[in-house]
């Protein structure tokens, strides 16, 4: 259930009869029957957040992310460290962010952060906020063991993998968040968490790229009936999301021969403080083929958060 968010009658007269009716499954079913999106995975029980830390500078954005979400949705946080350092130094900062629930510190002695995270993940958490660094050199990407590669396909709850900018400082406040929406049920999860990171006057920017075959001139595409319909459907969907989450979401639609170049153009045009996107389960294990999120991490400097669905036994 979205915390303190209600659909008011003036927003959806067709769907709600009683004044100030809370969001419920029946209302969402009607809403998504209209807009063509399934709501089954939307309702989350967000009570406990796991935040593993190495006590490094690059983790600042991950701490901000976990603190903002915990404050917004009334969750507790467990700070996990494998070694001698004490992550309790971050508790005052999390309290200043408005985290009111319990902040627990767990220090393990395995000498292996992968084992530490996997063992702790057995203790009924709802979300893992995973600080990650960008490997700028190819040799580092090949030779160094990646914690995320070792655990992503084994964590049974949602994961937000947080990357700081490649260069420069993390912004003090997040006022513009870009969302790469695939127009699937993942949209709801990206908006759900991204909304918590925004400052009071913040804005969500919804991106959608229509992938056009190379043989088709772009000057002919935007007047095409199919593209026009796709753009209009995306606009309607984003308007529905804006009303559902009672927050401002601005749609940005672009037709491009190359999805990477298209996203780059939208990011340069809109200048978000942070970009949210998802990663498919199929790209979690070691593979030569890189995922879209990995390609974008190599191309852009801005901070990024990558969402992973819970691991399954499939």
Give pLDDT tens digits for 234-266: 888 888 888 778 888 999 998 888 888 889 889
Which CATH number applies to 48-171+273-308? 3.40.50.620
Look at 5-19, 53-67, 115-129, 195-209 and tell me which has the smallest mean pLDDT. 5-19
Residue 295 above 90 pLDDT? no
Would you say residue 117 has pLDDT above 90?
Answer: yes
In angstroms, the CA 83 to CA 110 distance is: 8
Query: In CATH terms, are 25-42+174-268 and 48-171+273-308 the same topology?
Result: yes
Q: How far apart are CA 49 and CA 124, in angstroms?
A: 10
Both tokens of 194, joined, read 């991204």
Q: Are 296 and 262 in contact (CB under 8 A)?
A: no
- Predicted local distance difference test score (pLDDT) of residue 31: 58
Q: What is the pTM of this model?
A: 0.82
> Radius of gyration of the chain from Cα atoms?
20
Per the model's pLDDT, the better-predicted residue between 150 and 6 turns out to be: 150
pLDDT for res 32? 60
Q: Which of 29, 4, 2 is nearest to 15 (CA)?
A: 29
Q: What percent of the chain has pLDDT over 70?
A: 74
Buried b (16+ CB within 10 A) or exposed e, 289-306: eebbbeebbeebebbbbb
Q: Residue ranges per domain, the chain?
A: 25-42+174-268, 48-171+273-308
What CATH code is assigned to 25-42+174-268? Answer: 3.40.50
């Amino acid at each position: 259930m979205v915390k303190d968010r209600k659909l008011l009658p003036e927003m959806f007269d067709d769907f709600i009869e009683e004044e100030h009716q809370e969001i419920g499954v029946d209302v969402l079913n009607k809403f998504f029957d209209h807009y063509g999106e399934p709501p089954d995975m939307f309702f989350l029980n967000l009570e406990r957040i796991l935040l593993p830390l190495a006590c490094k500078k690059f983790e600042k954005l991950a701490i901000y992310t976990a603190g903002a979400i915990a404050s917004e949705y009334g969750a507790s946080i467990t700070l996990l460290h494998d070694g001698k350092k004490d992550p309790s130094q971050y508790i005052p900062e999390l309290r200043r962010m408005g985290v009111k629930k319990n902040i627990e510190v767990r220090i393990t002695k395995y000498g292996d952060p992968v084992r530490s995270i996997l063992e702790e993940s057995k203790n009924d958490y709802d979300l893992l906020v995973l600080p990650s660094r960008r490997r700028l050199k190819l040799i580092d990407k090949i030779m160094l063991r990646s914690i995320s590669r070792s655990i992503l396909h084994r964590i049974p709850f949602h994961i937000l993998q947080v990357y700081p900018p490649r260069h420069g400082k993390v912004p003090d406040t997040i006022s513009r968040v870009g969302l790469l929406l695939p127009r699937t049920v993942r949209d709801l999860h990206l908006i759900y968490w991204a909304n918590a990171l925004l400052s009071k006057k913040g804005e969500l920017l919804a991106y959608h790229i229509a992938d056009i075959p190379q043989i088709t001139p772009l000057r002919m595409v935007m007047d095409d009936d199919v593209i026009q319909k796709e753009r209009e459907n995306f606009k309607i969907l984003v308007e529905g999301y804006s009303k559902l989450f009672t927050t401002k979401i601005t749609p940005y639609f672009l037709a491009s021969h190359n999805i990477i170049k298209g996203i780059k153009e939208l990011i340069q045009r809109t200048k978000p403080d942070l970009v949210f996107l998802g990663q498919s389960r199929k790209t979690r294990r070691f593979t030569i083929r890189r995922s879209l999120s990995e390609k974008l991490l190599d191309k852009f400097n801005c901070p990024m958060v990558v969402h992973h669905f819970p691991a399954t036994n499939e």
